[in-house]
Amino acid sequence: MKKIWYLKGRYGGGKWFKTEKSFLSNVREDDTREVFIYSLVDSGIAGEVKKSTITERDRDDQLKTILGEADKYEEAISCFRAKFDEIAQDTRGKRHILSTLKIIGLNKKRVFQYGKQQ
Low-confidence ranges of the chain (pLDDT < 50): none
Residue type, 44: G
Q: What is the pLDDT of residue 21?
A: 94
pTM here?
0.60
Cβ–Cβ under 8 Å, residues 2 and 40: yes
> Which pLDDT score, from 0 to 100, does residue 46 have?
95
**pLDDT confidence of residue 62:** 86
Q: What is the 3-state secondary structure (H, E, C) of the chain?
A: CCEEEEEECECECEEEECCHHHHHHHCCCCCCCCEEEEECCCCCCHHHHHHHHHHHHHHHHHHHHHCCCCCHHHHHHHHHHHHHHHHCCCCHHHHHHHHHHHHHCCCHHHHHHHHHHC
Per-residue confidence (pLDDT) for residue 118, from 0 to 100: 53
